[in-house]
């Protein structure tokens, strides 16, 4: 029987465990410092057994998954360095930076341990083991970054183990991985937070900045609401790459600002056309490292009961509505009512239900 240890039973670790349980002849032991969380994970069928003792969780493991925040990964790796482990055990993490983690894991190979960095590039706006979903990683990239010297057959074995996740498992160098996610995830969070802080400063002189920020501005900066402590750790661990991207971004932004300063209309249009052309090539329905938003915009009449009619209609079809909002600022969107959904399937079903009922429904491109 294959023994798997999942260290950190939250959304990421729990979803991974649920998917792996589709294997026959496999047992999953969960480790967490919160015993109540382990009891919940067992009751939900996420893990087979749980323990708050780390050494007990890993002693018989064939595979160990470190599903914890970046800074906690270092503590776990340090502990495993001095803990009895099965010879040939494969250790994989789920952090969003890879080079610093692999540097920390250097030397484990002397214990007969194989370390393969991992980054499942999928997430959710929900959290906790109760939000675990065996389809969380479906169609998402799951990047593996093997430490130097890890045999190819060991990497292949881990790929095979991850088959039930239905993720697109790819292998790349750790430093290249950090460059890619730095550009498509880490630096966008920097820009979003910086822009929000800029507008927040302006808002000190007039609250109209905050009031009119609903709609497009709120949409393009939604990732600024991410966990501050988590992003502190991620950015510090990828700071060299981020500084390189920052200088490249300054050049790119400087190009546009020069066109604006010189009133170069052709230059501005060409700059935006280049950006639009590349963005239109980005897959729409593929999981990405930044959790997608599933929002619909619906035209409704301004009279009592209009919102209730929409929510009742969706409720009759058992479609959950986590959030809705009346938009006062609609400069970049059509529709006065914004409805948020948890999944793409819910949004697509709601679109059909509302259109069949005669409503005009829009999505952001």
Task: Give 205-216 pLDDT, tens digit per residue.
Answer: 899 888 888 767
As a whole number of angstroms, the distance between CA 275 and CA 14 comes to: 37
Average pLDDT, the chain: 88
Nearest of 113, 119, 167, 117 to residue 147 by alpha carbon: 117
CATH topology of domain 294-362: Alpha-Beta Plaits (3.30.70)
- Residue tagged 């083991």 (tokens): 129
CATH topology of domain 2-172: Rossmann fold (3.40.50)
pLDDT value, residue 249: 97
The sign one gets for the Cα dihedral 177, 181, 186, 188 is positive
User: Contact at 8 Å (CB) between 109 and 81?
Assistant: no
177-279 is classed in which CATH architecture?
A: Orthogonal Bundle (1.10)
Q: With a cut of 70, which residues of the chain have pLDDT below it?
A: 124-126, 215, 284-292, 302, 326-336, 364-365
pLDDT value, residue 219: 77
Residues listed for the chain: 365
pLDDT value, residue 288: 59
pLDDT value, residue 139: 83
> Model's pTM, two decimal places?
0.80
pLDDT value, residue 330: 43
pLDDT value, residue 291: 63
């Amino acid at each position: 029987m294959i023994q798997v240890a999942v260290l950190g039973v939250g959304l990421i670790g729990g979803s991974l465990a649920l998917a792996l349980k589709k294997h026959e002849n496999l047992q999953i032991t969960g480790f967490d410092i919160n015993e109540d969380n382990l009891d919940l994970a067992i009751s939900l069928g996420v893990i087979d057994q749980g323990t708050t003792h780390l050494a007990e969780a890993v002693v018989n493991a064939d595979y160990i998954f470190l599903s914890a925040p970046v800074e906690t990964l270092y503590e776990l790796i340090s502990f495993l360095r001095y803990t009895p482990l099965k010879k040939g055990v494969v250790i994989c993490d789920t952090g969003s930076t890879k080079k610093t983690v692999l540097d920390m894991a250097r030397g484990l190979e002397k214990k007969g341990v194989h370390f393969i960095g991992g980054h499942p590039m999928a997430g959710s706006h929900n959290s906790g083991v109760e939000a675990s979903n065996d389809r969380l990683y479906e169609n998402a990239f799951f990047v593996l970054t093997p430490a130097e010297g890890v045999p190819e057959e060991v990497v292949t074995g881990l790929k095979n183990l991850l088959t039930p996740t239905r993720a697109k498992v790819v292998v790349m160098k750790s430093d290249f991985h950090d460059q890619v996610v730095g550009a498509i995830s880490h630096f966008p969070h920097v820009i979003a937070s910086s822009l929000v802080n800029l507008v927040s400063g302006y808002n000190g002189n007039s609250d109209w900045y905050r009031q009119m920020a609903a709609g497009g501005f709120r949409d393009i900066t939604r990732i600024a609401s991410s966990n501050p402590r988590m992003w502190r750790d991620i950015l510090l661990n990828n700071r060299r790459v981020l500084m390189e991207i920052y200088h490249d971004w300054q050049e790119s932004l400087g190009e546009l600002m020069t066109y604006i300063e010189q009133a170069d209309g052709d230059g501005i249009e060409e700059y935006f056309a280049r950006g639009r052309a590349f963005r239109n090539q980005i897959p729409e329905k593929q999981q990405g490292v930044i959790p997608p938003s599933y929002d619909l915009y619906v035209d409704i009449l301004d009279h009592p009961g209009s919102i209730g009619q929409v929510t009742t209609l969706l409720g009759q079809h058992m479609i959950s509505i986590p959030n809705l909002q009346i938009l006062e600022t609609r400069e970049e969107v059509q529709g006065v009512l914004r409805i948020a959904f948890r999944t793409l399937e819910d949004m697509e079903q709601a679109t059909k239900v509302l259109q069949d009922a005669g409503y005009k429904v829009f999505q952001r491109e």
